[in-house]
Amino acid sequence: MATTPDAASQGQGAISALLQEDRRYPPSSEFTAQANAGDAGIYERAKADPEAFWAEQAQNLDWMEPYKTVLEWDVPWAKWFVGGKLNASVNCVDRHTKTWRKNKAAIIWEGEPGDSRVMTFGDLYREVNQFAAALQKLGVKNGDRVAIYMGMIPELVVAMLACARLGAPHTVVFGGFSPESLRDRIQDCEAKILITADGGWRRGGKVPLKDNADKAVVECPTIQHVVVVNRTDDARHVPMHAPRDVWWHRLMDDAKHAIVEPEALDSEHPLYILYTSGTTGKPKGMLHTTAGYLCGTMTTSKYVFDLKDDDVYFCTADIGWVTGHSYIVYGPLANGATCVMYEGSPDYPDKDRFWDIVEKYRCTILYTAPTAIRSFMRWGNEFPEKHDLSSLRLLGSVGEPINPEAWVWYREHIGADRTPVVDTWWQTETGHILITPLPGLTTAKPGSATIPFPGIEADVVDEQGNSVPVGGGYLVLKKPWPGMARTIWGDPDRYVNQYWSRFEGWYFTGDGAKRDEDGYLWLLGRVDDVLNVAGHRIGTMEVESALVSHPSVAEAAVVGITHEIKGQAIAAFCTLRAGNRPGDEAADELKRHVAAKIGPIARPDKIFFTAELPKTRSAKIMRRLLRDIGEGRVIGDTTTLADPTVLAEIRSQYEEKEG
Ligand code: WTA
Each residue of 531-573: pLDDT tens digit? 999 989 999 999 999 999 999 999 999 999 999 999 999 999 9
DSSP string, 56-98: HHHTTSPPSB--SEEEEEETTEEEEEET-EE-HHIIIIIHHHT
> Would you give the distance in Å from CA 472 to the centre of its chain?
25
Residues 341 and 361: their CA atoms lie apart, in Å, by 11
Give yes or no for residue 513 having a pLDDT over 90: yes
Q: How many Å lie between the centroid of ligand 1 and the Cα of residue 428?
A: 8
532 pocket-lining for ligand 1 (C-beta < 6 Å) = yes
Q: How many Å lie between the centroid of ligand 1 and the Cα of residue 526?
A: 9
Q: Nearest residue CA, atom 16 of ligand 1?
A: 399
User: Apex CA 535: angle with CA 36 and CA 149, to 5°?
Assistant: 100
pLDDT average, residue stretch 289-300: 98
pLDDT tens by residue, 565-614: 999 999 999 999 999 999 999 999 999 999 999 999 999 999 999 888 88
Whether the pTM exceeds 0.75: the reply is yes
Give yes or no for residue 71 having a pLDDT over 60: yes
pLDDT average, residue stretch 11-36: 68
Q: How many Å lie between the centroid of ligand 1 and the Cα of residue 145?
A: 27
Ligand 1: nearest atom to the Cα of 423: 15
pLDDT average, residue stretch 106-113: 98
276 pocket-lining for ligand 1 (C-beta < 6 Å) = yes
**Contact predicate 196/228, CB 8 Å:** yes
Q: How many Å lie between the centroid of ligand 1 and the Cα of residue 240?
A: 39
pLDDT average, residue stretch 482-506: 97
pLDDT average, residue stretch 141-159: 98
Of residues 207 and 648, more confidence is placed in 207
> Which ranges of 256-312 does DSSP label H, i.e. alpha helix?
291-304
519 φψ region: left (φ > 0), alpha (ψ -120 to 50), beta (else): left
Please provide the average confidence, as pLDDT, over all residues in the chain. 93
To test the pocket of ligand 1, the residue of 172, 402, 523 to mutate (highest count of ligand atoms within 8 Å of its CB) is 523
Q: How many Å lie between the centroid of ligand 1 and the Cα of residue 172?
A: 19
**What pLDDT score does 9 carry?**
46
Q: Which residues fall within 8 angstroms of residue 471, CB to CB, at 6 or more apart?
A: 460, 514, 515
**What pLDDT score does 640 carry?**
59
To test the pocket of ligand 1, the residue of 15, 326, 395, 400 to mutate (highest count of ligand atoms within 8 Å of its CB) is 400
Specify the DSSP class assigned to residue 16: H
91 pocket-lining for ligand 1 (C-beta < 6 Å) = no
Which SS3 state, helix, strand or coil, does residue 48 take? helix
Q: How many Å lie between the centroid of ligand 1 and the Cα of residue 553?
A: 32
Do strands 200-202 and 205-207 pair parallel, antiparallel, or not at all (unpaired)? antiparallel
Residues 223 and 7: their CA atoms lie apart, in Å, by 42
User: Which residue(s) pair with 286 in the sheet?
Assistant: 274, 488
Counting other chains too, the contacts that 374-379 makes at CB distance below 8 Å and 24 or more residues apart are: 374/403, 374/406, 374/564, 374/565, 374/567, 375/346, 375/347, 375/565, 376/346, 376/351, 376/409, 376/413, 376/414, 377/405, 377/406, 377/409, 377/413, 378/564, 378/565, 379/347, 379/351
**Contact predicate 556/572, CB 8 Å:** yes
Q: Nearest residue CA, atom 3 of ligand 1?
A: 401
Specify the DSSP class assigned to residue 305: T
> Would you give the distance in Å from CA 21 to the centre of its chain?
26
425 pocket-lining for ligand 1 (C-beta < 6 Å) = yes
User: Mean pLDDT lowest for which of 14-18, 277-281, 284-288?
Assistant: 14-18
For residue 558, give the H/E element and its range.
strand 553-563
**What pLDDT score does 21 carry?**
62
Which SS3 state, helix, strand or coil, does residue 637 take? coil
Q: Nearest residue CA, atom 1 of ligand 1?
A: 400
pLDDT average, residue stretch 252-275: 98
Give yes or no for residue 112 having a pLDDT over 60: yes
Do strands 458-461 and 471-477 pair parallel, antiparallel, or not at all (unpaired)? antiparallel
Q: How many Å lie between the centroid of ligand 1 and the Cα of residue 317?
A: 13
**What pLDDT score does 6 carry?**
43
**What pLDDT score does 639 carry?**
52
568 pocket-lining for ligand 1 (C-beta < 6 Å) = no
**What pLDDT score does 2 carry?**
43
pLDDT average, residue stretch 239-263: 97
Give yes or no for residue 473 having a pLDDT over 80: yes
Q: How many Å lie between the centroid of ligand 1 and the Cα of residue 523?
A: 9
**Contact predicate 75/505, CB 8 Å:** yes
**Contact predicate 417/439, CB 8 Å:** no
Confidence band, pLDDT 50/70/90 cuts, at residue 396: very high
Percent of the chain topping pLDDT 90: 84
Q: How many Å lie between the centroid of ligand 1 and the Cα of residue 285?
A: 17
DSSP string, 323-384: HHIIIIIIHHHHTT-EEEEE-S-TTSSSTTHHHHHHHHHT-SEEEE-HHHHHHHHHH-THHH
Which SS3 state, helix, strand or coil, does residue 568 take? strand
Confidence band, pLDDT 50/70/90 cuts, at residue 281: confident
Confidence band, pLDDT 50/70/90 cuts, at residue 5: very low
Percent of the chain topping pLDDT 70: 94
- Residue 243: asked if its preceding bond is cis (omega within 30°), the reply is yes
507 pocket-lining for ligand 1 (C-beta < 6 Å) = no
Confidence band, pLDDT 50/70/90 cuts, at residue 3: very low
Of residues 122 and 14, more confidence is placed in 122
Q: How many Å lie between the centroid of ligand 1 and the Cα of residue 292?
A: 20
Confidence band, pLDDT 50/70/90 cuts, at residue 659: very low
**What pLDDT score does 410 carry?**
97
Ligand 1: nearest atom to the Cα of 401: 3
514 pocket-lining for ligand 1 (C-beta < 6 Å) = no
Residues 567 and 572: their CA atoms lie apart, in Å, by 17
Residues 194 and 187: their CA atoms lie apart, in Å, by 12
**What pLDDT score does 158 carry?**
99
322 pocket-lining for ligand 1 (C-beta < 6 Å) = yes
